[in-house]
Amino acid sequence: MGHAVDGRAIPVGFKDVEQHTLTNVANGARTSAEAGADFVKAQFVGTVDEYRTVVRGCFVPVLALGGPMKPTPLHALRMAADAIEAGARGVVYGRNIVENPRPDRMVAALVEIVHGGASVDVAAKHLNAPL
């Protein structure tokens, strides 16, 4: 059994988010795939249509990075839904899950979007599920 090799469209530690332009992210994703990555983690930038160019220009699956903590959980769910609509195969979220008061509910909502094709409104119902 082989192991997955991932690529990052913008190097980790690249704190200058002004460099996270559509062109840079698209070029980084493509270059990571060309370098042998099995999948690429790329910042979600621009609109759904713009991010679609990142996905289409990369011949391996693209996973959208969550990036900085979003203002609300709904913002994080919207970004996930937009990335999936653009063709991303999944999301890589850290702080938008672990800093949520109920990470289990946030994960359930994201699963509904990524694997179930749910809308943000439907998925958000997981955030307020009864105990």
Catalytic residue among 15, 41, 70, 125: 41
Over the range 57-89, which residues count as b (16 or more CB within 10 Å of their CB) and which as e? Answer: ebebbbbbbbbeebeebeebbbbbbbbbebbbe
Write down the pTM of the prediction.
0.85
Q: Is 15 annotated as catalytic?
A: no
- Structure confidence by residue, pLDDT tens digits, 71-119: 999 999 999 999 999 999 999 999 999 999 999 999 999 999 999 999 9
Tokens in use for 88? 């991303």
